[in-house]
Amino acid sequence: MDRPSQRLIRLDLEQQTLREVNDFLHQRLPHEFAGGEMPRVEILNPNGRHNVAVGLDTPVEVDILGHAGYFIAGMNKAARVTVHGNVGWSVAENIMSGTVRVKGCASECAGASGRGGLLVIEGDASSRCGISLKGSDIVVAGSVGHMAAFMAQAGTLVVCGDAGAGLGDSLYEAVLYVRGQIAGLGADARIEPLSAPDHQRLTRLLAAAGLPHAPQEFQRVGSARNLYHWHADRGGAYG
Amino acid sequence: MCGIVGFLAKDAALQDTLGEFLVPMLTCMGERGPDSAGLAVFSAPLPASKRRFSLWTRDWHFDWASLGRRLAADTGAQADLGPLENHAILISTVPVGLLHAWLDQQFPGVHLLSAGRSIDLYKDEGHPAEIARRYEFSRLAGTHGIGHTRMATESAVSPAHAHPFTAGEDFCLVHNGSLSNPCSIRRRLEKQGIAFETDNDTEAACRFLEWRMTGGETLEQALAAAFKELDGFYTLLMATTDRMVLVRDRFACKPAVVAETAAYVAVGSEYRALAHLPDIRHARLFEPAPEQIYSWTAPASA
C-alpha cells in the first residue's frame, strides 16, 4: 500500500484480505484523512470477489479495477464507487446516498431496495433491477431483464435500452422511463404521458449519468394503483 | 445453494490439461456447496463394441483386479480396469444392462456411476477440494467436463446424491436449484419401467430428459418439454459425448456466467470461479437468458 500522505491509495485484493480492505475504507481512511482532502482509492484484482467496498460512509472516490462479485458497494453512503468491469448480484443494494457506477454489466437485483443516491450501469442489467426500490435513482445505459422495479416504492429507474417482461409489476410510487422496447408490463403498471417534471427529472438524471439521450425519447411507466385497495366487489372470490 | 462449473476445450491443445482448468473452478465453488462434489469428463469415444464404466465403492481397499477377473470369467467379456482406491474405470465389451445385473448380484456394494463410450465420472461426499485431491482431478484430460459442488437442501448428503447425475449412456447433468414436482415426474417415469437410484430431485430431471431422448427427441426438444414439465428453480448444465449444454429456468434466479474465447468455453455459477482462466480478460462474458438453450460442441479429440 502507498503511504497515506499520497493522493492515490492502491489496495490489492491479491495481497490483502477483503476484510482488511473494507476495514481500511471503514475505519482508517476516515480517521487518517479527517478534515483534509480525501485520497482516491483504487482496489486491484477484485476477481469476482463479493462484498467489496460495502458499507462505505465517507465521501471518498473508490475505483474497483476489474470484474467484481455480489453486493458490491452495498449500503453505500456518500462514497463514489466505480467498478471498471462487470458485477454480480445486488450491486449497490440498499444504497443510501453517493454514486455507484458500473462500467460493464450488472447481474440481477442491481440497486435493490436503494433509498437514495444514484446507480449508473453503463452496460446491461439483468433481472429484477431496482426491485423494491425505495428512493434511489438508477440509470441503465443498456437494457434490463425481466421483473425490473418489482414492487418499487419510490425513486426512478431509467432504462435507455429495452425492458424485459413484467416491467414494474406491483409498482408503488417509483417512476420508470424506458427508451427502447418494453417486452411486457407487470400487474398494475401502465404507460403514462410524459409531463414537464418528467422532462426535468430525465434531463437531470441523463446528465448525471453522462448519457446523450433526449427526454422525449422515453416512455413513462407508473402505477395504475389498482392494487392499493381492497375491492369489496371481489369479496366473493374468497368464499 | 450449489455451484456448477463446466469447461469445453475448443482448442485441442487444452484437452490434456482439462483437469487443471476445472479443479480451481470446482474448489472456488466449494463456497457455494461444501457437502459433496463430482466431475464428469468426456474424451474421444471408444469403438462401438466397447464401453467405459465408472465404478465406485465405499471400500478404500477394494480388490478391483479380482472383480475384473470374475467379470471376464462370468461373462466372457474383456475387462480392463483402471483403479484408484475406491473408484475404478472399467473398459469392457460387457453390455451395460448385463453389467448392472451382474454387479447387483456379485458386488452389491459397487455402484455404476456412469456408462458410455466417452464419459468418466467421479462423485463423493466431502469438500470439493478434498474430492478433487482424492480422485486426482487435476490429472484428468478430455474434450469437456462438467462439475458440481453441493449444498444439500432437499435430500440426503451421500455419495449417491452428489452430482453429476447420469441416465442412459454418455449423458450427465448438474443442477443448481430445486424442483417442486420431482415425485410426480418420478411416478410417471417409473410407470414406464424407468428405475431410480435416489430420491433426489435432480435425478428426476436427468431421467426425464433421457427418457425423452430415448423416445427419439433431440436434447433441445427434450429441454423444451422440460421447460413445461419441470416446476421449480434450476440452472442445468449438461454434457453429452461432444456437447456442453446450459439452460436456466424462466425465473433465472439461480446464477450462471459464461466466458467464451477462441480456445474454450467456461461456465460457472459465479465469475470468481472463472477469474483465473487464461486470457479471461479478453473472454466474451455473458449471463445466460431465461429458457434459452446454449450449446457448445467440442471439436473431435486430437
Contact B80, B92 (CB under 8 A): yes
Cβ-nearest to B255 among A50, A67, A107: A107
Q: In this structure, what CATH number is given to the domain that contains residue A157? A: 2.160.20.60
Say how many domains are in chain A.
1
Range of the domain at A159: 8-226
Q: At what angle do helices B64-75 and B96-106 cross, to 10 degrees?
A: 120
- pLDDT attached to residue B301: 59
- Domain range summary for chain B, segments of one domain joined by +: 3-45+125-297, 46-117
CA B26/CA B273 separation, integer angstroms: 7
Question: For residue A45, is pLDDT > 90?
Answer: yes
- pLDDT attached to residue A2: 47
Is B290 in Cβ contact with A146 (below 8 Å)? yes
Return the DSSP state at B211: H
- What ranges make up the beta strands (E) of chain A? 8-12, 40-44, 61-65, 80-83, 99-102, 118-121, 134-140, 154-159, 175-178, 189-192, 219-223
- A-B Cβ pairs (cutoff 8 Å, strict): 44
Count of C-beta atoms within a 10 Å radius of residue A224: 14
The grid coordinates listed for A81 are 464507487
- Output the CA angle A228-A231-A232, nearest 5 degrees: 150
Could you give the count of Cα atoms lying within 13 Å of B34 in the half-sphere of its Cβ? 1
Range B196-217 average pLDDT: 96
Return the DSSP state at A185: B
- Summary mean pLDDT of chain A: 95
Q: State the best of A13, A144, A146 to mutate against chain B, taking most chain B CBs within 10 Å.
A: A146
Domains B3-45+125-297 and B46-117 share a fold: no
Per the domain annotation, does A231 fall within a domain? Answer: no
pLDDT digit string, tens, across residues A182-212:
999 999 999 999 999 999 999 999 999 999 9
Return the DSSP state at A18: H
Measured between beta carbons, the chain A residues lying within 8 angstroms of B285 are: 67, 86, 105
CA A70, chain centre distance (Å): 13
- pLDDT attached to residue A235: 73
Show which of residues 102-121 on chain A sit within 8 Å of chain B, judged by CB atoms: 105, 107-108
Per the domain annotation, does A145 fall within a domain? Answer: yes
Give the rounded percent of residues in chain A with a pLDDT score beyond 90: 89
Q: What is the DSSP string of B159-187?
A: GGGSSPEE-SSSEEEEEEEEES-HHHHHH
- pLDDT attached to residue A239: 61
A47 touches chain B (CB under 8 A): yes
Domain B3-45+125-297 class? alpha beta
Cβ-nearest to B272 among A69, A108, A127: A69
- Summary mean pLDDT of chain B: 96
- pLDDT attached to residue A35: 85
- Counting every residue written for chain A, the total comes to 239
Q: Which fold has domain B46-117?
A: Alpha-Beta Plaits (3.30.70)
- pLDDT attached to residue A232: 75
Composition of chain A by helix, strand, coil, percent to 5? 15, 25, 60
Per the domain annotation, does A47 fall within a domain? Answer: yes
- What confidence tier does A234 reach under pLDDT thresholds 50, 70, 90? confident
The lowest-confidence range among A99-113, A221-235, B161-175, B236-250 is A221-235
Known catalytic residue at B2:
yes
